[in-house]
Amino acid sequence: MGTLGIIKIPLELQNLIERISDEREDELNEYRPSDFDLDKYNETSLLLQFNRLVDPVVIAMFIGLFKTQSLPPREENEIEIDSEVKGEYEFNVDIEKYKELFNNYLLCLWIKRNGYPNKDDNIYVYREKLYNFLNQINNDDYFKKIIIPFYTKKSCREETKRSFVSRLEDSGYVGFKKEELSMASPEFLAKELINLQNKFWENVIMELSLE
Report CA-CA distances (Å) from 129 to 95, 104, 117, 124, 161: 26, 16, 11, 9, 39
Dump pLDDT digits (tens) for 13-67.
Answer: 999 999 898 887 765 567 777 777 777 877 888 888 898 999 999 999 999 999 9
Look at 181 and 156; give whichever has higher pLDDT.
156
* pLDDT on residue 139: 94
| pLDDT > 60? residue 101 | yes
**Which of the residue ranges 79-88, 139-148, 202-211 would you say has the lowest mean pLDDT?**
79-88
Q: What pLDDT is attached to residue 45?
A: 84
Whole-number Å distance between alpha carbons of 142 and 67: 21
Q: Give the 3-state secondary structure percentages of the chain, helix then strand then coil, rounded to 5.
A: 60, 5, 35
Residue 153 CB contacts under 8 Å (≥ 6 apart), including other chains: 10, 64, 79, 82, 83, 84, 85
Phi-psi domain of 151 (left: phi exceeds 0; alpha: psi -120 through 50; beta: other): alpha
Over residues 176-185, mean pLDDT: 66
Q: Give just the sign of the alpha carbon dihedral 104, 107, 113, 116.
A: negative
Q: How confident is the model at residue 210 (pLDDT cuts 50, 70, 90)?
A: low
